[in-house]
Amino acid sequence: MRRKIVAGNWKMNKNVIEAQQLMTQLLEYTMSNKSNCEVWIAPPSLYLMMAKDVFENDEIGVFAQDISTHESGAYTGEISVDMLESIDADGTLIGHSERRQYHGENDESCNKKVKLALDKGLIPVYCNGETLDQRKAGQHFDVVKTQTETALFTLSAEEIKKVVIAYEPVWAIGTGETATPEQAQEIHAHIRSSIAEKYGQEVADEVSILYGGSVKPDNAKEIFSQPDIDGGLIGGAALKVEDFSKIIEGFN
CA 13 to chain centre: 17
Active site residue 96: yes
Q: Of these residues, 38, 105, 130, 168, which one is catalytic?
A: 168
72 is known to lie in a ligand binding site: no
Phi (first) and psi of residue 169, to 5 degrees: -70, 105
174 is known to lie in a ligand binding site: yes
40 is known to lie in a ligand binding site: no
Alpha-helical regions (H) of the chain: 16-32, 48-54, 81-86, 97-103, 107-119, 132-136, 140-152, 157-160, 181-199, 201-204, 220-224, 241-248
9 is known to lie in a ligand binding site: yes
193 is known to lie in a ligand binding site: no
Active site residue 168: yes
Q: Of these residues, 96, 98, 105, 130, which one is catalytic?
A: 96
Residues 6+ apart with CB under 8 A from 168: 96, 97, 127, 128, 129, 212, 213, 233
Binding positions for substrate: 9-11, 174, 214, 235-236
Binding positions: 9-11, 174, 214, 235-236
Catalytically active residues are 96, 168
